[in-house]
Amino acid sequence: MSRLEPAGTTTSARAAALLEAGDLVCFPTDTVYAVAGAADIAATRDRLYAAKRRQTGQPMALLAASAEVLMPWVTVDDRARELMGEFWPGPLTLVLVATPRGADNRRRGAGQHGGLGGAGRGRPV
């Protein structure tokens, strides 16, 4: 179902519920409009690749509110934390070393080069 709603607390809560249910959502970031889905739900990743017309194995960034949210997926070292503290929220994407969980999802289509891109965005979702 497609639906366009203005940003706000209610729509952010609805978007979060849709993501948790495995649906895709669209929202503005600092630099582009994003089509997003829960990275840890395989069927959602498949739908996201289809919606974006991307080939399996073509990398996608992980959007996160904090380093802690990214930590199951990538190794966040002191240098990365320093950059996150300085530039997040904002349009900085870091390519970090994938953890075993991230590497497993990378093999399924989240990137093929030993790392995953993580970005901290300034808008609530």
pLDDT for res 93: 85
Do the Cβ atoms of 98 and 114 come closer than 8 Å? yes
Do the Cβ atoms of 42 and 36 come closer than 8 Å? no
CA distances from 40 to 44, 96, 97, 103 (A): 8, 18, 17, 12
CATH code given to domain 9-120: 3.90.870.10
Kindly list the domain boundaries of the chain, sorted by start residue: 9-120
Query: pLDDT grade, residue 120 (50/70/90)?
Result: low
> Three-state DSSP class for 93?
strand
Q: Could you read off the pLDDT of 73-103 as tens digits, one per residue? A: 889 999 999 998 998 887 788 888 888 887 7
- 111's torsion region: left (phi>0), alpha (psi -120 to 50) or beta? left
Report residue 107 CA to chain centroid gap: 16
Q: Could you read off the pLDDT of 25-83 as tens digits, one per residue? A: 998 877 778 899 998 898 998 899 899 998 877 777 788 878 888 888 889 999 999 99
